[in-house]
Structure 1
Amino acid sequence: MKKLLLLSALLSPFAMAQSVDELADKIEPEVIKWRHHLHQYPELSNREYKTAEYIAKYLKSLGLEVQTGVAITGVVGLLDSGKPGPTVALRADMDGLPVKEMNDLPWRSQERGMFNGNDVPVMHACGHDTHMAMLMGAAKILVEKKSSLTGKVKFIFQPAEEGAPRGEKGGAQVMVQEGVLKNPDVDAIFGLHISANTDVGKVRYRAGGVMAAVDPFKIVIKGKQAHGAYPWLSVDPIVTSAQVVMGLQTLVSRELKLLDDAAVVTVGSIHGGNRSNIIPSEVEMVGTIRTLNTAAREHIYDALPKKVKAIAESMRAEAEVTLPLDYNYPITFNDHELMAVMLPTLISTAGEENVVHSKPVTGAEDFSFFQEQVPGVYLWIGGKPLDVKAEDAPAHHTPEFYVDDSGMKLGVKLLTNLTLDYMEKHTTN
């Protein structure tokens, strides 16, 4: 007995503590349980009331300092190690989508909600249920390993990543405005997104622009109405609009250096006229711009209105351009230095063969608002079962969207190890 007591006294807390891998294995059933609950009861953007209550209750059970009602329904938990060091933020998004689930699962969603005045089905069709469950798991492990921490951890559960309802504001931008990165000031932030077409066990990363800026626009072409049989009496906004749509494509194909980064200009909606034999006086079109570097974004902001107005003038029409239209997201930009410093953590956590350098995507993420304020890294982790081909995996934002529970364990470990390793590298003894 004396020998055992002596041995215990000699062992450090690090040696006695369970490893992150062991703890992640231990809590995996709980993470899956949380995911199933959150998936079965999704809520739309800025309406995540029951979701927020569920998360806040859990964070309080861990003994964390919890703030609710941030950006309407957001929840923030604070873990203070009691020792000096950096503040690390970890973020998960909370909202579902107006999509009817078609998966035959015992925990499938049958919920409904109000979206822009319409009663709609609701589904976690982009994996936000897994994001919340993984962050809850990381919070549990980091509380267990509190003695190993130096500094503080903020657990940010963010509403409205998919966009606030019409006429409302929400999401990361509002959380930033309300001071989520302050008191204490955040030094670095980490987030991840599960991927339906990436193998379970893989993590994809990239320094620099990883997801595009999104800038919606509206163009109104004003002409002169006339009978369709006498077009020479008109100033035809429909023909003008057709030339505008084609002209906008040259912004990318002829004005940007596409060897650097891709960009997209899409017109998604055109409305004008109501009869086959009447040339209308006005046409309205709306669209979206996606860019992956600041130079391309600034160029299109400057060039698009000039091109549209020049084309309209050449047709004797007038053009009004609104850019951005109602909202916009910056580029989701992984800080180069932070990405380089944390890459070894990805390798040690997932294994070198499972760490994949990724191409950027032209989808958007409002995690970018956090990255505008502090260095941040945003990662993709695999959720596709290994026996499913990538081309057969259901896409995000579809009724068949599905990711496997087994993918979450890596996400829990990554969030935990990124926090622990960042603190170790940025704490002065």
Structure 2
Amino acid sequence: MYRMLACAALGLWTTLSAAQTRVDEMADAVENDVIEWRHHLHEFPELSNREYDTAKYVAEHLRGLGLEVTTGVAKTGVVAILDSGKPGPTVALRADMDGLPVKEQNDLPYKSTQTGEFNGQTVPVMHACGHDTHMAMLMGAAKILTDMKSELNGKVKFIFQPAEEGAPAGEKGGAEVMVKEGVLKNPDVDVIFGLHISANSDVGTVSYNPGGTMAAVDPFKIVVKGKQAHGAYPWKSVDPVVTAAQIVMGLQTIVSREIKLIDSAAVVSVGSIHGGNRSNIIPEEVEMVGTIRTLSKEAREHIYESLPRKVKGIAESMGAEAELTLPLDYYYPITYNDPELTAAMLPTLKRTAGEKNTILAKPVTGAEDFSFYQEKIPGLYMWVGGKPVDVPEEESPAHHTPEFYVDDAGMKLGVKLLTNLTLDYMQQNR
């Protein structure tokens, strides 16, 4: 029996090793194309839900591969299906498409000088978070997987998603809308893989974390209502400014005194306070807007219970009233890497990037709407290094800044990861 198991394991290893060699060779061959696609997409970025030319460019590439292509998903999204013609699982691969209202300050031959409309104003547009590389990497993986169609069993669904950065005011968009429109159906998707380029980790590395890897997002608004009075006679008022200040400080005790931070991090931040218009008038009302970030279901549920209690109690203690809206206008679930799937695919990450270059990372309190897919099906989301190895991490520009930069050399690993994860998952579940 043990000999049979050993032979089976050896056979699987031989199959995977041979496929790895072919993927490496094909990734080398397509790298220049991937770089060219990335440069074009970087030079001509578009804002969320406005990715019209971007979608055309991507769809043209996918149709050129002979894939079944659907456009206009969640307004500007593009979905393509590769059918091997053999039974097996359906694997989804996702890339986001939108740029940001940021003016690029890099001196590059493919620098963006594009503009767009954001909140009623004309603004510069830049791929300041690497979504151009995400699309180019997935286009490269689509090319390789199509060329390896005879070695697949099952189907691959390529998802090019708009509005990851958030839809414009008054609109819906992104992964949430794609899911509602059935992107994980027809055929039913079994598993989804996604990745994000990182300007702060070295080219050639991949980082992962099982479980909660990026935070849930829950924006909130608090309106504190008091009684207006002259600033010289505060005893005639019910001061919403002082009450708001007490609420801000009180909210900080939720995380510092109620959340078990050794298990998972959480954040409650107030980012905006507005009230009053003169130095000598205590206003009637103050409005605050903030965000909650959590990495576990338990922490999120606790904050949902605690925050209203504290807001109400502090306001009542000051003789004021407070209205809480939670969540405010949108939310993102936790980006949760299914632990069993992560464990099953970890050998693929290590084989593709190398043991030393496969890094177990800590969770972050940033967010990703990839989480909406993971609410429905198992998913794995990773970070691929894009920082030149000779640049110190502290000197690498941050995401969402005018100086944001990632090296083209980082994309080849992303192409190979998307390809190998698909091949290995199909091999494991044939």
Asked if Structure 1 and Structure 2 have the same fold, meaning a TM-score greater than 0.5 normalized by the shorter chain, the answer is yes
What's the TM-score, normalizing by structure 1?
0.96
Give the 3 Å change call, closer, same or farther, for CA 283–134 of structure 1 in structure 2.
Answer: same
> TM-score, normalising length from structure 2?
0.96
Tell me the secondary structure at the aligned position of residue 99 of structure 2: coil
Q: How far apart are 1:302 and its partner, in Å?
A: 1.0
Match of 2:295 among 292, 295, 305: 292
Letter in 2 for 1:59: L
Long gaps (5+) in structure 1: 1-11
Query: 2 CA distance for matches of 1:110 and 1:302?
Result: 47
1:254 is paired with a residue whose SS is helix
Identity %: 77
Aligned to 1:177: 180
Deviation at 1:351, TM superposition (A): 0.5
Q: Aligned equivalents of 2:45 and 2:326: distance in 1?
A: 33
2:24, 2:416 within 8 Å by CA — same for their partners in 1? yes
Deviations 1:22-75 (A, max 9, x none): 000000000000000000000000000000000001100000000000000000
| Residue in 2 that maps onto 1:80 | 83
SS of residue paired to 2:258: coil
Aligned partners of 1:164 and 1:299: how far apart in 2? Answer: 28
Aligned to 1:330: 333
Partner of 1:365: 368
RMSD of aligned C-alpha atoms? Answer: 1.1
Within 5 Å, which residues of 2 pair with 1:262-411? 262-411=265-414
Aligned mates of 2:190, 2:119 — CA distance in 1: 37
Query: Structure 1 residue 18: deviation in Å?
Result: 6.6
Separation in structure 2 between the aligned mates of residue 266 and residue 401 of structure 1, nearest angstrom: 25
Counterparts in 2 of 1:178-327, with a 5 A limit?
178-327=181-330
User: Match of 2:156?
Assistant: 153
AA of the residue aligned to 1:129: D
The answer to whether the aligner puts 1:412 opposite 2:415 as a matched pair is: yes
Which structure 2 residue ranges, 5 or more long, are not aligned?
Answer: 1-14
Q: Per-residue deviation at 1:324?
A: 0.3
Give the letter aligned to residue 277 of structure 1.
N
Deviation of the 1:425 alpha carbon: 0.2
2:64 is matched with which residue: 58, 61, 66?
A: 61
3-state DSSP of counterpart to 2:179: helix
* 1:48 alignment partner AA: E
Letter in 1 for 2:240: P
Offset, 1:16 = 10
After superposition, give the CA deviation of every residue in 1:374-426 in whole Å (9 maximum; x if it has no partner): 00000000000011000000000000000000000000000000000000000
Q: Look up the match of 1:6.
A: none
The superposition leaves residues 224-281 of structure 1 with CA deviations (integer Å, 9 ceiling, x where unpaired) of: 0000000000000000000000000000000000000110000000000000000000
Once residues 377 and 18 of structure 1 are traced to their aligned partners in structure 2, the CA distance between those partners, rounded to angstroms, is 23
Question: What displacement does 1:17 show?
Answer: 10
SS of the aligned residue for 2:193 comes to strand
Report the residue type matching 2:301 in the other structure. Answer: E
Rounded Cα–Cα distance in structure 2 between residues aligned with 1:316 and 1:274: 22
For 2:150 and 2:304, locate their aligned partners in 1 and report how far apart those are by CA, in whole Å.
50
Over 6 Å off, 4+ runs? 14-18
* Aligned match for 2:31, one of 28, 32, 35: 28
* CA deviation profile, 1:186-240 (whole Å, cap 9, x unmatched): 0000000000000000000110000000000000000000000000000000000
Question: 1:167 — aligned with what?
Answer: 170
Residue in 2 aligned with 1:96?
99
Output the CA distance in 2 between the equivalents of 1:255 and 1:170.
34
Equivalent AA in structure 2 for residue 181 of structure 1: L
Change (3 A) 1:16 1:347: closer
Deviations 1:305-329 (A, max 9, x none): 1100100000000000000000000
